[in-house]
Amino acid sequence: MGSPCLPDHPEPMKIILADDGSKHAQAAINMLQSIPFAEQTAIMVVGVVPPIQATTHTIWQQRLDYSKNMLMREGLHVTTELVAGYPAETLLRIGEMEKPDLMVLGAKGLRATLGILLGGVAQQIIEYGTWPLLIVRHPFRNLHTVTLATDGSPSSKCAENFLKRLHLSKDTFMNIVHVLPPAEHLAPEHEILIENAGPQPGSSTISSLIDEVPVEINGLLDKTYENILPFYPNLFRHVMQGDAATEILQFIQQSPTDLVVSGSRGLSQVQSWLLGSVSRKLVHYSSCSVLLVKGTPPEMG
């Protein structure tokens, strides 16, 4: 695996899909079907059989073969791997051995408790995995609208470069969202600082109800905008103010989003932490699928 942060990664992607037969795993398959991956992209469909289900190998293999057939198309290399063990630790071990460009998980497994937004296996992979992770929620409908949360950190730069590698449809509506720190005295009527993007797609106008956006933030958004625009011309920018996770979650609720993309650590993160507090909240509380990109640009590593 090369760095996920390279702006022009020359190699096809290597993807691991965790498949447990749940509706969220099926949604993950459907999402992968919708992404126009480059030729020679390799997808490994992995099933982990818990020790107490050792006699069900045949059923599990049939499931993996079914998923493989769904994903097969010209130019892709799809394989299956059936492994005995405990799902979280087994997937982490496989990830460390294979070093994928992306691991794809359903948000919840077959035994997830009703009402929770994230299953235990997904939580552990998110916390301890060191590669980009795509957490898919059921049902999958399309990738019509994507929201990229950026704060100017190296991790955010990784996320925007990785998003370019996916080569989603040019018809995809792409929102760039930046959240300024909360003001000391914010009037109640201005607590929600989100405005629908009124300008035409491709406009450089920033959607914001904030009186004045700092010059350095304008510069940051200009760079992100210019980096992504050639790939996604239906591009809009939004600036908000307040608690970052709260504002982003509120934004994707008010502006229906199919996928939210974020780096794993923000500017203020302690370097020893694998996952930042904003990323953790997004993946736990977001109602849509989440792509977390972990990595550091080579020039910053």
How far is the C-alpha of 273 from the C-alpha of 172, rounded, in Å? 32
256 has a pLDDT exceeding 50: yes
Cα angle 132, 136, 142; round to 5: 110
Residue 73 class from Cβ within 10 Å (0-12 exposed, 13-18 middle, 19+ buried)? exposed
Which range in 147-161, 188-202, 273-287 is most confidently predicted, on average pLDDT?
Answer: 147-161
How far is the C-alpha of 6 from the C-alpha of 8, rounded, in Å? 6
- Arithmetic mean of pLDDT over the chain: 82
How far is the C-alpha of 97 from the C-alpha of 242, rounded, in Å? 40
- How high is the pLDDT of residue 211? 60
| pTM of this structure | 0.86
- How high is the pLDDT of residue 69? 96
DSSP, collapsed to helix, strand or coil, labels residue 300 as helix
What are 5-27's pLDDT values in tens digits?
776 666 789 999 999 999 999 99
What are 49-77's pLDDT values in tens digits?
888 776 678 899 999 999 999 999 989 99
Distance, C-alpha 247 to centroid of its chain: 18
Instruction: Report which of 278, 289, 277 is spatially closest to residue 245, judged by C-alpha positions.
Output: 278
In Å, how far are 13, 30, 49, 61, 196 from 82, measured between CA atoms?
A: 21, 21, 7, 7, 47
**What CATH superfamily is the domain 14-136?**
HUPs (3.40.50.620)
| % residues pLDDT > 70 (the chain) | 77
> Could you tell me the end-to-end alpha-carbon distance of the chain, in angstroms, rounded to an integer?
16
How far is the C-alpha of 65 from the C-alpha of 21, rounded, in Å? 12
| Same fold: 14-136 with 145-300 | yes
- How high is the pLDDT of residue 152? 86
Where along the chain do its domains lie? 14-136, 145-300
- How high is the pLDDT of residue 183? 73
Residue 205 class from Cβ within 10 Å (0-12 exposed, 13-18 middle, 19+ buried)? exposed
- How high is the pLDDT of residue 77? 97
Kindly calculate the radius of gyration of the chain based on its CA atoms and give it in whole angstroms.
19
What are 170-221's pLDDT values in tens digits?
999 999 999 998 876 444 443 444 333 334 444 444 455 556 788 888 898 9
Assess if CATH 3.30.565.10 describes domain 145-300: no
DSSP, collapsed to helix, strand or coil, labels residue 278 as helix
DSSP H or E run through 190: none
Do strands 14-18 and 42-49 pair parallel, antiparallel, or not at all (unpaired)?
Answer: parallel
Cα angle 296, 297, 301; round to 5: 65
DSSP, collapsed to helix, strand or coil, labels residue 103 as strand
Contact assessment for residue 228 and residue 161, using Cβ atoms and an 8 Å cutoff: no
